Amino acid sequence: MAALVGVLVSLPALAGLLPASDASVSAPDLRAAVLASDTVGFSGFAESAGGLDLPVTDQLTSVADLFSDRTRMRVWWRGPIDHRVDVISAGGETGVHRDLMGSWAWEYERATATRTLNSALALPRPPDLLPSTLGRRLLSEATVAEVSRIGALRVAGRDALGLRLTPTEPASSVGRVDIWVDADTGLPLKVEVFGKGAALPALETRFLDFDPSAPDPSTTAFVAPPAAAIRGAPVTDVALEAGRRIRPVPLPPELAGLPRRVLTGVPPGIGLFGRGVTLLAVVPLPSRLAAGLRDALVQSPDAVVDEAGVRVSAGPVALMLLDPPGHGPYVLTGTVTLDALADAAAQLPELGGTP
């Protein structure tokens, strides 16, 4: 009897130990296959788990939950502008249906369908945490020198080829990103993001079920149910709203050794620096927004409070709020080290740096 129970319990673990077939694909070729995979149709079930306990204000709790909780997602993908991602919970579901002009978000427990039009700037949403989407995003600006092969693994019952991204910027707080890519389709099946020196991933997302065939269009389409409340997204979202209210500040072309980049659609007051998985955002905040954020930051047991401001990190994500006397407050955040944040703060023009 005990032997029977032992066999039954160990079956799933034994299935996971099945060896994966590797293929002689170079790292740059595998990266290219990943970047070309956004038009590959598939469906599946994915789960992401994050350990990033971001200290945030009330407006951003959904983003914080996304990176600190376990998120279970069903996905039907026909392409970048035709897909559906349902986040399922024990008692409900929130589905995002993407189409040409934007997306519908369906919330069962509120019986609400919210229409959001396409925007250049948006807060992270569950579809961004799909292994396929996240893997492509993280590899999009990786150089040949930053990627290497790391063998193969069985993921969701399929052979997945390993690709490791090791950022070369000294300011980066990301130690490495391991991406496991479906050998047949080039779709990332599993992504692990490790902080510098960390043995466990700060963020992990993987497919548990994967079907490499395109779903029917009727599955991804959305028609609001008759009894649903229909809403439009309020002024796109909180990031754009903040963008309108921030003061324009001339930011330098480089901070903490990271060059400034220009992105279309981003409010002019927001500065984005860096490349690939090493990014730093600088935002001059309105005082009212800063007060709430400061309260949240100082409550973190790991917060560093000094004359430079308040700094805190959650895994590889660092966040700093500084409020120089006589000037408005700034928030600096990104996947950089706390030292890099302090360096960047000292280079801001209102703190004596050169614009």
Partner 1 sequence: MIAVELRKLFRRPRTWATIAVLNALPVLVAVLLVLTDLAPRPGEGPPFLSAVLRNGALYPLAALAIVLPLFLPIAVAVVAGDSIAGEASAGTLRYLLARPAGRTRLLVAKLIAVLAFVLVTVLIVAGVGYVLGTTLFDAQPVTGTSVSGTSLTPADLGGRTLMAIGYVAVSMLGVAAFALFFSTLTDSPLGATMGALAVLVASSLLFTLDAASPIAPYLPTRYWLSFVDFFRDPIHWRDITRGIALQGVYVGVLLAAAWANFTTKDITS
What are φ and ψ of residue 30, in 5° steps? -65, -40
CB of residue 221 to partner 1, shortest distance in Å? 10
Instruction: Output 233 or 346, the one with its CB closest to partner 1.
Output: 233
CA distance 16 to 157: 8
First to last CA, the chain: 75
CB of residue 227 to partner 1, shortest distance in Å? 6
Which residues, in sequence order, are CB contacts of 234 under 8 Å at separation 6+?
none
CB of residue 298 to partner 1, shortest distance in Å? 26
CA dihedral 184, 187, 190, 195 (to 10 degrees): 130
Of 326, 320, 283, nearest to 300 by C-alpha is 320
CB of residue 91 to partner 1, shortest distance in Å? 3
Q: Are 192 and 201 in contact (CB under 8 A)?
A: yes
Burial class (CB in 10 A: 0-12, 13-18, 19+), 237: middle
The token pair that represents 120 in the structure block: 């250049």
SS3 246: coil
Instruction: Output 11 or 101, the one with its CB closest to partner 1.
Output: 11
CB of residue 5 to partner 1, shortest distance in Å? 6
The token pair that represents 253 in the structure block: 């072309």
Instruction: Output 101 or 230, the one with its CB closest to partner 1.
Output: 230
Instruction: Output 96 or 240, the one with its CB closest to partner 1.
Output: 96
CB of residue 87 to partner 1, shortest distance in Å? 11
Instruction: Output 72 or 154, the one with its CB closest to partner 1.
Output: 72
Positions that interact with partner 1 (CB under 8 A):
1, 4-5, 8-9, 12, 45, 74, 86, 88-93, 95, 106-111, 113, 208-209, 219, 222-228
Which residues, in sequence order, are CB contacts of 107 under 8 Å at separation 6+?
92, 94, 113, 114
Instruction: Output 35 or 208, the one with its CB closest to partner 1.
Output: 208
